[in-house]
């Protein structure tokens, strides 16, 4: 992700994919006759002296709309009382060290030197052959840096994911990522973006995204998302992965595994001419099988010479218009939660946590749309 673009006005939850209006108007578009059918059924007791008790039984059958079914799943998830994960102490802000310097000879993105958050560009980023070569180079570097960041603190797990070993601080991860990026002649895209003070995002446990590296040590049983974006030769490459720290319980391991599967399923349906809204539908369907929530506030985005642009990629059910075009690049980066999908943001205006303190996980790739599918540019 680097930075999942945040919708300035979050989309209404769980819209019908057949409607472009808000959820309230979408549900009203279903007529009563479409939702309910009333069938009279005669119930006739034996004739005789009890004949006067003959009754007419009316049976109501309900046809459930996709919106209602999605809302039912959400209510069941929110009301679950037996979520089996060990509640960890809430995150606390550690000491944030000063931002690290970047050599003068390394090209900087246009927002360098400004603390203002850039507007999201309205232009889709569609590349010619030269642009695709440069996108591949930036994305390959981002993937390599992320992989090496994991090597600082990792071993292998049974799920073929990365398992971090406790004791390293997120500030040490930031320093290592920063050095790897500038050694490659690139700029760490998050640094200074809208005033962000670090070169990487490190989001631990209940932190959904945009965690600022600090002096906090990783603890046994933590999960952490490391989010790397690099700016190389005028192009951004953007990727993230959630890592396991030491002895993580089964509930958190499953959350991480399913989140990665959601990303894979979203990518699998991408190709020239495909609808963007199918991504959110596919991700939501898979997440809901396991009772997980899909965060709606943070979205994927176009990426290339500009860090964040259209199209905005919603990971929840939606009816956002638009189709994919060959040569286009964008990110898909779902965030799943065990509990509430509502969030709170710390006073630093970046660090965003689940409102109920439940764990969250995220995975992200930058992809290139081809005629027949999608090429994952940030895959090692």
Binding site for a divalent metal cation, by residue number, is 227, 238, 301, 333, 364
Gap between the Cα atoms of 211 and 223, Å rounded: 13
Question: For residue 290, which phi and psi values (nearest 5 degrees)?
Answer: -105, 5
158 Cβ contact partners less than 8 Å away, ≥ 6 residues apart:
none
Residue ranges for the binding site?
A: 210, 227, 238, 301, 308, 333, 364
Closest CA to 219 of 205, 209, 207, 233: 205
Gap between the Cα atoms of 224 and 123, Å rounded: 32
CB contact at 8 A, 189 and 238: yes
Q: How many residues does the chain have?
A: 380
Name the 3-class secondary structure at 172.
helix
Cα distances (angstroms) measured from residue 145 to each of 13, 300, 340: 35, 20, 32
Query: To which residue do tokens 């931002």 refer?
Result: 99
Contacts 24+ apart (CB under 8 A), 154-161: 154/243, 157/244, 157/253, 159/253, 159/256, 159/257, 161/241, 161/242, 161/243, 161/244, 161/256, 161/257, 161/260
Gap between the Cα atoms of 361 and 205, Å rounded: 8
Gap between the Cα atoms of 178 and 164, Å rounded: 19
Gap between the Cα atoms of 79 and 198, Å rounded: 38
CB contact at 8 A, 295 and 7: no
Gap between the Cα atoms of 146 and 136, Å rounded: 15
Element spanning 185, H or E: none
Residue ranges for the binding site for substrate?
A: 210, 308
**DSSP state string for 77-121:** HHH-S----PPPPPP---PPPPPPP--TTS---TTTT--SPPPPB
- Which residues are paired to 163 by β-bridges? 155, 244
């Amino acid at each position: 992700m680097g930075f999942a673009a945040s919708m300035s006005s979050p989309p209404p939850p769980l819209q019908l994919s057949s409607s472009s209006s808000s959820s309230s108007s979408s549900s009203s578009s279903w007529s009563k006759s479409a939702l309910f059918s009333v069938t009279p059924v005669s119930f006739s007791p034996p004739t005789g002296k009890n004949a006067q008790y003959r009754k007419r039984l009316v049976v109501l059958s309900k046809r459930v709309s996709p919106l209602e079914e999605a809302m039912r799943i959400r209510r069941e998830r929110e009301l679950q009382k037996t979520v089996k994960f060990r509640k960890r102490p809430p995150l606390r802000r550690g000491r944030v060290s000063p931002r690290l310097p970047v050599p003068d000879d390394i090209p900087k993105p246009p927002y360098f030197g400004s603390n203002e958050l850039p507007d999201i560009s309205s232009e889709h980023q569609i590349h010619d052959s030269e642009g695709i070569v440069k996108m591949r180079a930036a994305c390959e570097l981002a993937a390599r840096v992320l992989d090496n960041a994991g090597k600082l603190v990792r071993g292998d797990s049974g799920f073929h994911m990365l398992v971090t070993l406790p004791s390293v601080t997120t500030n040490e991860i930031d320093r290592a990522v920063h050095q790897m990026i500038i050694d490659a002649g690139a700029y760490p895209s998050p640094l200074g973006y809208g005033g962000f003070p670090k070169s990487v995002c490190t989001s631990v446990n209940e932190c959904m995204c945009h965690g600022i590296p600090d002096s906090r040590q990783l603890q046994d049983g933590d999960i952490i998302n490391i989010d790397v974006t690099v700016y190389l030769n005028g192009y951004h490459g953007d990727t993230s992965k959630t890592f396991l720290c030491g002895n993580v319980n089964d509930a958190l391991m499953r959350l991480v595994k399913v989140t990665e599967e959601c990303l894979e399923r979203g990518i699998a349906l991408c190709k020239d001419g495909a609808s963007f809204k199918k991504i959110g539908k596919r991700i939501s369907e898979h997440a809901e099988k396991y009772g997980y929530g899909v965060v709606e506030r943070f979205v994927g985005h176009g990426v290339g010479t500009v860090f964040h642009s259209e199209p905005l990629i919603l990971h929840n059910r939606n009816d956002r218009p638009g189709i994919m075009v060959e040569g286009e690049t964008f990110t898909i980066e779902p965030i799943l939660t065990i509990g509430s999908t509502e969030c709170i943001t710390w006073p630093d205006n970046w660090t965003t946590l689940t409102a109920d303190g439940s764990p969250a996980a995220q995975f992200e790739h930058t992809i290139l749309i081809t005629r027949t599918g999608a090429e994952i540019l940030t895959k090692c």
